[in-house]
Chains A and B, each alone.
Chain A
Amino acid sequence: MRWGVITFPGSCDDQDALYAIKHALGEEAVPLWHKDRDLQQVDCVLLPGGFSYGDYLRCGAMARFSPVMDSVVRFAGTGGFVLAICNGFQIACEAGLLPGALIRNRGLRFICADVRVRIEQTDTPFTNQCTRARC
């Protein structure tokens, strides 16, 4: 599979994502720039984490209007895969690729801890090698 990782101004997990795709998955990854319109025939677009546009106004609100996002929204509309992580997830919500909006955490304390994740669906391209329940 060929992956494209988008770098927005303020993205900081884009290099990690490229590294993980190439070295952990052993797959092909190309960097994409926020001003690109051509997604270079990738099979999956990855929106990485970070602080696009300094989180100004609302997290993801500015990045959503990057030229590349027009292409990503069209790509997703025709069944293309999009993996959105952290700030990338916020961008996906702002772009209307996902329903709803993110609000602030109930508590204002910073939490850094391992959390257990439950696999809800195993019939998606991203989770079909997991078993249901904990993974």
Chain B
Amino acid sequence: MLARIYVTLKRGVLDPQGKAIEHSLHALGFEEVEGVRLGKYIELSVRNGDREPASRRIDEMCRKLLANGVIEEYRFDIEG
């Protein structure tokens, strides 16, 4: 099965990369953009098995390595 994980900066954590992208979009004439936050997208191919334990394992991966709980939050969905 396929897990899609989204890691984003917590609300309130400064995101200078997002700000730089926002400025560039404005410079290109996309003035309607009112905010940009940059995050990470991670795809995991996981051996097929029961969803419930797989979900628990993926949550553990996020907490241990994929996201830093001090400044980031994460969410994921599983397909297949």
Q: Contact residues of A with B, CB < 8 Å?
A: 57-58, 61, 65, 94, 100-101, 103-108
Contact = CB atoms under 8 A, between A and B. Distances in A.
Contacts, number: 26
A100 B17 CA distance: 20
Interface of B: 13-17, 20, 40, 65-66, 68, 70-71
A107 B40 CA distance: 20
A107 B17 CA distance: 9
B68 A58 contact: yes
B68 A61 contact: yes
A105 B65 CA distance: 22
Contact of A104 (B16, B40, B68, B70): B16
**Which one of B13, B40, B66, B70 has the greatest number of beta carbons of chain A within 10 Å?**
B70
A103 B14 contact: yes
Contact of A101 (B16, B40, B70): B70
Contacts of A108: 16-17, 20
